[in-house]
Amino acid sequence: MNNNEDINYKIGGQIWVQKDGENFMGPGRITILELLAEGYTLEEVAIKMKMKLETAINNINAINKTAKRPLTLTKDKNHYEVTSYGIDIISKYKELKEEHDKMLEELNKKFSINL
């Protein structure tokens, strides 16, 4: 049995951006966009992320449907180009995540003493 003094609690969390109650952008979708922007095919992205190709396609379709403008354009069946708007969304999400991480760090400092 562990001594409770040895247990380190940490407050964590993921950040999701929603529009009208629907998930728009989160860690997985950002990773898909980043890998596509690096030149990977959607099939390679799916393999790298250990997801079905259909799931990757569904994520691309969902973010393009939710966004004001397309984040990706289809070059052919398996090749997608991330638009400049998509690159902007990646950048904004990274800024948001950085702020979120700072907030979690502060919460951990504040509450770790009391847990």
Kindly report, residue by residue over 15-64, the tens digit of the pLDDT.
999 999 888 999 999 999 999 999 999 999 999 999 999 999 999 999 99
Would you say residue 66 has pLDDT above 80?
yes
Task: To the nearest 10°, report the CA torsion of 67, 32, 95, 85.
Answer: -40
The pLDDT assigned to 104 comes to 93
Domains of the chain: 29-108 (1.10.10.10)
The pLDDT assigned to 4 comes to 56
Query: What pTM was computed for the model?
Result: 0.85
CA 23/CA 68 separation, integer angstroms: 14
Contacts of 60 (CB under 8 A, 6+ apart): 32, 42, 72, 80
The pLDDT assigned to 1 comes to 46
